[in-house]
Amino acid sequence: MKLLAPVLIGSALVAGGFGLTQVEAGKKSSKDDKYIIKTVGEPKSCVRRSQIRSTDVIDNSTIDFKMRGGKIYRNRLPHKCSGLAFEEAFSYRTSTNNLCSVDIIRVLDQTAGRIEERSACGLGQFQEIKKTRRDKEES
């Protein structure tokens, strides 16, 4: 028997319950502007779902997965995912405790008090990154 557990992930959902924070449509996110981003090691195909603490949608093709223990894995989707940066929320379903580059996410749209799944987008590889604030580098 295959068990599919729907999981809701998204920075807006984690931070604010079901009240989704929205980003101005069409405006490029500047979330990374204040950080120096360095990659660590080789990309991974999968991360353990049970280790994901939160997510941060950077733009329509980039999601940071913040893990228990402090590691951050950046996932660059192979194609832009329409609405992801605007909604900052997505769902996924897996039959294992792993979230992998072969899995699909769906953008969550909150309209008229209802949450609906929209665009389906494939994930890419998970690359561990280190973020250092630019103002700390300059000090």
Residue 5 has pLDDT above 70, yes or no: no
DSSP 8-state secondary structure symbol assigned to residue 133: E
Q: What is the average pLDDT across 103-122? A: 94
pLDDT of residue 32: 82
- Which of these, 51, 41, 78, 48, lies nearest to 63 by C-alpha position? 78
Report pLDDT digits (tens) over 47-97. Answer: 999 999 999 999 999 999 999 999 999 999 999 999 999 999 999 999 999
Instruction: Pull the structure tokens for residue 3.
Output: 């068990």
Give pTM, 2 decimals: 0.76
pLDDT of residue 87: 95
